[in-house]
Amino acid sequence: MIKTITGTTQNLGVMGWPIAHSLSPAMQNAAIAAAGVDAVYTAFAVEPQALALAVAGLRTLHFRGWNVTIPHKQAIMDALDEIDEDAAAIGAVNTVVNDGGRLKGYNTDVVGFLGGLRDAGFDPAEKNVVLLGAGGAARAALWGLMKSHAMRVTVGARHPEKAEALIDDFAARASMLGTKLAAMHWETEAFRGAFSHADLVVNVTPLGMTPHTDDKPPVDWREAKPDAFAYDIIYTPEETRFLHEAAALGHRTLNGEDMLVQQGAAAFELWFGRKADASVMKQTLRAQLSGAELVHHVLA
Residues involved in catalysis: 73
Beta-ladder partners of 264 = none
Nearest to 74 by CA among 53, 105, 43, 109: 105
Given the DSSP bridges, would you call strands 95-99 and 102-106 parallel, antiparallel or unpaired? antiparallel
In terms of DSSP bridges, do strands 200-203 and 128-132 run parallel, antiparallel, or are they unpaired? parallel
Question: Contacts from 76-84 at CB under 8 Å and sequence distance 24+?
Answer: 76/51, 76/105, 77/105, 79/51, 79/52, 79/55, 79/103, 80/55, 80/104, 80/105
Short-list 143, 136, 110, 80, CA closest to 267: 110
Return all residues near 30 (Cβ < 8 A) that are at least 6 apart: 280, 281, 283, 284, 294, 296, 297, 298
- CA distance linking residue 42 with residue 29, whole number of Å: 9
Cα-trace Rg, the chain: 20
Distance, in Å, from the CA atom of 287 to the CA atom of 201, rounded to the nearest integer, reads 28
Phi, psi at 213, each rounded to 5°: -75, -10
Sign of the CA dihedral running 160, 255, 258, 41:
positive
